[in-house]
Chains A and B, each alone.
Chain A
Amino acid sequence: MSDESSTPNPVGHQPAPLQPEAAVLAEARQRSRRAFIGLGLAGLAGLGGWSWLISQPKESGVAGPLRRVLDANGRLSGAYFKETRLAPEFARSRARAPRINGKVGLKSELNPVTWRLRVQDFATGNTQEFTLDDIKALPKTSMTTELKCIEGWSIVVHWGGARLSDFLARYPLAARAGAAETLASYVGLRTPDDAYYVGLDMPSALHPQTLLCYEMNDQPLTAGHGAPLRLVTPLKYGTKHLKRIGTIAFSDTRPDDYWAEKGYDWDSGH
C-alpha cells in the first residue's frame, strides 16, 4: 500500500484552489492501482510465508519454526516462573473423581509387593530403589487442586503424597557431582514398561505442589489412576501427571516426553 503522507492542516490555513477533476481522478486511479497491487503482493507474501512454514521439516510432530516458538514460550514462562506462585486450592468438598483418560504405560500387570521406585543418582549414575513405605515415611502433603487436561476440561481433585522436593531433600540424588548444592536441570520420569515418559524442568519439580502422589480423594490410588505412585503437579497439564512411576532420572538436557513427541508443547506449563 502506498501513501502520500498526510500533513496536518494548520489552523488558519488559507483554502487552496480545488484540484481539476481530471487530475483528481488520475491521482485516484494511480493511488488505487498502487495500493491494490501492494495489498495483493502483501497477501501473496503472506501466503508464501505460510507455505514455507508448513513445508519446514517437522520437529517432534510440529513444523520446525512453530516448535522453536513453543520452546521460546517455554523459556519465557520459565524466566517468569516463581515457586511462590501456587495453583489455587479448593474446598475438599469440591473434589471429584477424574475420568481415566489414558492407559499408556499401564497395560502390563503390576505386582504392588515387588514394585520399587528406581531413582538414578545424577552424580554417580547408580540406581537406588525405594518402596512405597519409604515414600510414605516422608511428610505427607494434601491439597485440593484443579487437574487440567490439555484437551480443555478440568476437575477438582484431592491429592495426598510426598513433595518431590521433600524426597530430593531427604535423598539428594539430583545433586551434581562435586557440587552438591547445584541440581540437575531436568527430571525425567518413566513408567516401569517405558511406554510413557515425561520430563519436568527442575523448578517445577521442586515446586511445593509437585507431589509423588499415592492417594486420590483420600483413597489409595487405583490401578487406572496410577497405583502405587504417580506424579501430580498442578503446574502442568494432565499429560505430565505420569501414572505408575517406575524410574526417575536427572539430566541437563530435556528428557523425552511422550506427548511432546506427538506435537505438543514440551513445557506444557501453567
Chain B
Amino acid sequence: MKQLIEKHSLAIRWFHWVNFPVLSLMIWSGLWIYWANDVYRLGWGDTTLFKFFPQSFYEAFNVPFQLAKGMAWHFVLMWVFFLNGVLYVGYTIFSGEWRYLLPNRHSFKEAIQVTLHDLGLRKGPLPVRKFNGAQQIAYTSVVLMGVGSVLTGLAIYKPTQFAWLTGLLGGYEFARILHFALTIGYVLFFIVHIAQVVRAGWNNFRAMVAGFEIVEVNPASQPLPAGPPPLPAADAPLSSN
C-alpha cells in the first residue's frame, strides 16, 4: 500500500537548487579566470597526460579573453555561494539533520559495500536509510570542499590581508592549485551525483523537488503514524532491516 514519506525539508531543497546554478556559474567564471594563466596539467617531466585545458574545450565553452568579466562574476557570486553554504550548514546543525549527513564509524565499511553494489559486484539489498554510508561520506566531503574553496579563494583573493591564511595553505601559488583542484573535485562529484540520481530513479529525484517519497507499506505489519515517521539515525545498525 503506497504512502507518502517526507524526505527533504523545504529549506534543504532551496539550498540545493540555489547552489546548483551558483556553483555552475562560479566554475564557469573561474574558467575565464584560470584561462589567463592555464599552467596546470597531469603528468611528469616532459610528459603531459592531460592539459588543463585543451584549446577545443576553451572554444566550446567560450572561455578565452574573458578575465575581467570572469573576475567580476566570481567576486559577486562568491557572496551568494558563501551565504547559501553558511545557511545550509547552519540549518543542518540547528534542525538536527546533520545526524543523517555526518559519517560515523559504520559509514566507511558501508560505503565500500554500496560501491561494490553499484558496480554490480555485490548482491543483496542496500541499507534502507535516508543516506547510506557512501552518501554520508560524499555529501559531507562536498560541504568540506565548499569550506575549502572559500578558504583557498580568500587566500588568493587577499593574500596580504590574510597572509596568515595564505601561508597556512602553502603560499599563494599552492593555494591557487588547491582552489583549482577543489573545482575539479566538484565536477567529478557532479558526474557521479548525476549518474546516481539517474539510477535511483524518479521517486528519489522528485523528493529533492517536492520533498516526499512514495513508499510501499504492508498495512498488516507496518502501521505508519500520520506524521512523518522518524528516519533511523545515521548510526543505526546496518542490519536493522
Contact = CB atoms under 8 A, between A and B. Distances in A.
18 contacts: A1-B209, A9-B225, A13-B227, A19-B3, A31-B211, A62-B68, A62-B69, A69-B79, A77-B158, A85-B161, A87-B160, A150-B71, A151-B37, A152-B34, A154-B172, A234-B160, A270-B158, A270-B159
B36 A1 contact: no
A245 B21 CA distance: 45
Interface residues of A, number: 60
Interface stretch (A159-167, A190-198, A223-231, A260-268): A260-268
A41 to B, nearest CB: 12
A77 B4 CA distance: 50
B4 A153 contact: no
Contacts of A82: 161
A205 interface: no
Nearest to A16: B226
A201 B158 CA distance: 16
A15 B217 CA distance: 14
A66 B225 contact: no
B92 to A, nearest CB: 15
Contacts of A85: 160-161, 163
B69 A27 contact: no
A251 interface: no
Interface of B: 1-4, 6, 9-10, 13-14, 17, 21, 33-34, 36-37, 39, 67-69, 71-73, 75-76, 79, 158-161, 163, 166-167, 171-173, 176, 206, 209-212, 214, 217, 219, 223-230
Contacts of A3: 9-10, 13, 211
B223 A263 contact: no
Given A15-B224, A86-B163, A152-B176, 4 more contacts: A28-B212, A63-B72, A77-B161, A148-B172
Contacts of B39: 153
Interface in A149-202: 149-154
Interface of A: 1, 3, 6-9, 13-19, 21, 24-25, 27-28, 31-32, 34-36, 39, 42, 46, 61-63, 65-67, 69-70, 73, 77, 80-82, 85-88, 146, 148-154, 234-235, 259, 262-265, 269-270
A18 B212 contact: no
Contacts of B158: 77, 269-270
Contacts of B226: 16-17, 19
Nearest to B79: A69
B36 to A, nearest CB: 4
A225 to B, nearest CB: 20
Given A15-B223, A18-B217, A67 B36 contact: no
A36 B9 CA distance: 15
B71 A24 contact: no
Nearest to B1: A21
Nearest to A234: B160
A129 B63 CA distance: 46
Given A16-B226, A80-B161, A73 B75 contact: yes
B67 A151 contact: yes
A53 to B, nearest CB: 9
Contact of A146 (B10, B17, B172, B229): B172
A263 B69 contact: yes
B209 A39 contact: yes
A26 B227 CA distance: 17
A17 B206 CA distance: 25
B211 A235 contact: no
B214 A24 contact: yes
Given A148-B159, A149-B37, A152-B176, A88 B167 contact: yes
A127 to B, nearest CB: 32
Contacts of B73: 66
Contacts of B33: 152
A270 B68 contact: no
Contacts of A153: 37, 39
Contact of B72 (A13, A62, A77, A87): A62
Nearest to B206: A32
B228 to A, nearest CB: 5
B7 to A, nearest CB: 10
